[in-house]
């Protein structure tokens, strides 16, 4: 089983690279892909660089070039739901692109022609996350993640995203990865730990908590791999 693990920023995959320790590096399309194996699972690891275009390229490359059969995304997010605090984990039940707007043609915000507003995550991976959370006595909130090519640091914009997409958290890659995985029929899963509240302090908060929250997310991914080994 070849498993892809991706983040957007180097900080999001560094805890995983450090954990695996030995890996082969392959360069492709101006990016690096790290190949390793873990307890019999073949793993391809990469950070895409931020934004939907980079994330789509990386997800498609991991699947088409490196043969990934499942994709796990690990990283940080801005909280929309006020119950989510710094360091809390959220796993996406479904994802939407909040910056996709063809409403002038009568479609809802986020609607992709010949597609839908939301792409749903793989139920098997959601169930696996739930059982890992129970075993490790960790709380992982399930919720809707909204994605766009903007770092959100504005309460009005955040509230618009909450109202329009019923979103619990927001970031800049998840929904594009979801679209790619859905098209290529690859089970996927997006996990994020909160780094900020997408408000006027978000930039400072992000800088302060990027590393620690990225580590929380990465550690949960490793626990999921441990569970997959036993499947
Ligand atoms: N990722 C983490 N925090 C974010 C924010 N406030 N906006 C967009 N992406 C993020």
Indicate if the pLDDT at residue 230 is higher than 90: no
- Report if pTM > 0.85: yes
The residue range of the domain holding 99 is: 2-230
Q: Ligand 1 within 6 A of 198 CB?
A: yes
At 60-75, the pLDDT tens digits run 999 999 999 999 999 9
Q: Ligand 1 within 6 A of 44 CB?
A: no
CATH number at residue 107: 3.40.50.1580
Residue 135 pLDDT: 94
51 neighbors 149 (Cβ within 8 angstroms): yes
For atom 10 of ligand 1, the residue with the nearest CA is 171
Closest Cα to residue 6, out of 161, 159, 167, 214? 214
| Active-site annotation holds for 168 | no
What CA–CA distance (Å, rounded) separates 228 from 231? 5
Catalytic entry in 12, 122, 168, 171? 12
Cβ-proximal residues to 29 (8 Å cutoff; 6+ apart), any chain? 57, 61
What CA–CA distance (Å, rounded) separates 146 from 213? 19
Spell out where 101-221 has E strands: 118-120, 140-147, 169-171, 188-196
Cβ-proximal residues to 91 (8 Å cutoff; 6+ apart), any chain? 121, 126, 129, 140, 141, 142, 143, 189, 190, 191, 192
Q: How far is the CA of 130 from the centre of ligand 1 (A)?
A: 24
What's the chain's average pLDDT? Answer: 97
Question: What value does the mean pLDDT take over residues 153-169?
Answer: 98
What CA–CA distance (Å, rounded) separates 70 from 127? 14
Residue 203 pLDDT: 98
Q: Which residue has the tokens 């993640």?
A: 145
Q: How far is the CA of 198 from the centre of ligand 1 (A)?
A: 6
Residue 231 pLDDT: 63
At 194-224, the pLDDT tens digits run 999 999 999 999 999 999 999 999 999 999 9
What CA–CA distance (Å, rounded) separates 111 from 124? 26
Catalytic entry in 88, 173, 196, 219? 196
At 103-158, the pLDDT tens digits run 999 999 999 999 899 999 999 999 999 999 999 999 999 999 999 999 999 999 99
Number of domains present in the structure of the chain: 1
Report CA dihedral (27, 28, 32, 35) to the nearest 10 degrees. Answer: -80
What CA–CA distance (Å, rounded) separates 140 from 220? 10
Ligand 1 atom nearest to 152, measured from its CA: 7
Give residue 40's region: left, alpha or beta (phi > 0; psi -120 to 50). Answer: left
Residue 197 CA, distance from chain mean position? 17
What CA–CA distance (Å, rounded) separates 218 from 52? 21
**Beta pairing partners, 142:** 91
Indicate if the pLDDT at residue 5 is higher than 80: yes
What CA–CA distance (Å, rounded) separates 190 from 221? 10
């Amino acid at each position: 089983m070849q498993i892809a693990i991706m983040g957007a920023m180097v900080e999001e995959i560094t805890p995983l690279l450090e954990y695996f320790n030995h890996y082969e590096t392959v360069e492709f399309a101006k990016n690096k892909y790290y190949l390793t194996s873990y307890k019999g699972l073949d793993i391809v690891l990469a950070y895409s660089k931020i934004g939907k275009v980079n994330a789509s390229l990386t997800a498609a490359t991991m699947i088409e070039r490196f043969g990934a059969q499942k994709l796990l995304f690990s990283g940080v997010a801005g909280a929309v739901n006020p119950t989510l605090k710094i360091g809390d984990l959220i796993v996406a039940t479904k994802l939407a692109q909040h910056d996709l707007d063809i409403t002038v043609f009568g479609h809802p915000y986020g609607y992709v022609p010949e597609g839908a507003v939301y792409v749903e995550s793989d139920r098997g991976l959601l169930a696996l996350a739930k059982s890992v959370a129970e075993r490790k006595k960790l709380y992982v909130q399930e919720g809707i993640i909204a994605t766009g090519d903007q770092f959100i640091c504005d309460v009005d914009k955040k509230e618009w995203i909450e109202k329009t997409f019923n979103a619990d958290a927001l970031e800049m890659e998840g929904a594009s990865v979801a679209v790619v995985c859905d098209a290529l029929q690859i089970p996927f899963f997006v996990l994020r730990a909160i780094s900020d509240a997408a408000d006027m302090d978000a930039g400072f908060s992000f800088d302060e908590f990027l590393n620690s929250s990225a580590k929380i997310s990465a550690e949960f991914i490793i626990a999921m791999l441990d569970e997959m080994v036993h499947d």
